[in-house]
Amino acid sequence: MQSFGELSAIFREKFETRHFPANPESLYEPHPASVTLSGLRVAFPPGAFLQATEDGEDALVQAVQEALAGSSSIADLFAGLGTFALAIRAAYAAEASRDAAAALKRAAPALHLEHRDLYRRPLDAKELKPFEGVILDPPRAGAAEQVAQLALSAVARVAYVSCNPATFGRDARTLADGGYRLDWVQPVGQFRWSTHVELAARFSR
């Protein structure tokens, strides 16, 4: 006879993991969810990310536009659904989420978009050569691998949007050691009643 623990393990394998996935996904959408970004309707797939507030998003978009003003060719790395790529008319975007990348590509077919995991395959200095400006908007883990390549590149300006001051500080140190100057940092408090803060910063060389 099987023990209770063994039966529980069988139940979890055959029932829980197959019928209750960790990330719920919609099975039927009579009217597919979408969001409007920079005047374009973008599909909103399960698990996609948006800024917490419209005012906060506007403040971050304006900061990125200011940081990269005058840049002729811009790459948006960790692009998500295109909050910054669409607003600033980026020439290139990279996003690890297949669903988010597909939604952005459908909304902006002319955008050169790559489904790419920048933690495993960051753009190297050669791939970064065509760009005068780069947008970084990574998850809370930061962008250590990509920042290391930026530090070796000739990119003139970097607009860094972060939701984690600790990993931002780590990455800022790498950029500074690579010859970048931190021009300014703008905090954006869009998480009420919490200690979390978003920020935007400009680096230049």
| 154 within a domain of the structure (yes/no) | yes
| 186 within a domain of the structure (yes/no) | yes
| 20 within a domain of the structure (yes/no) | no
| 157 within a domain of the structure (yes/no) | yes
Tally of domains within the chain: 1
pLDDT at 3: 67
Instruction: To the nearest 10°, report the CA torsion of 72, 78, 83, 86.
Output: 40
Provide the CATH number for the domain around residue 188.
3.40.50.150
132-191 pLDDT, tens digit each: 999 999 999 999 999 999 999 999 999 999 999 999 999 999 999 999 999 999 999 888
60 belongs to the catalytic site:
no
| 24 within a domain of the structure (yes/no) | no
**Domain encompassing residue 190:** 32-204
| 67 within a domain of the structure (yes/no) | yes
| 164 within a domain of the structure (yes/no) | yes
Mean predicted confidence (pLDDT) in 64-93: 96
- Given the residues 163, 172, 175, 200, select the one marked as catalytic: 163
pTM of the model as a whole: 0.83
Is a pLDDT exceeding 70 seen at residue 2? Answer: no
Residues with Cβ within 8 Å of residue 33, at least 6 apart in sequence: 26, 43, 44
| 85 within a domain of the structure (yes/no) | yes
> Apex CA 126: angle with CA 123 and CA 131, to 5°?
75
Identify the CA nearest to 137 among candidates 88, 180, 183: 88
Burial per residue of 11-31, b for 16 or more beta-carbon CB atoms within 10 angstroms, e otherwise: eeeeeeeeeeeeeeeeeeeee
13-65 pLDDT, tens digit each: 544 444 445 556 666 667 778 999 998 999 988 878 888 888 989 999 999 99
Question: How far is C-alpha 5 from the geometric centre of its chain's CA atoms?
Answer: 41
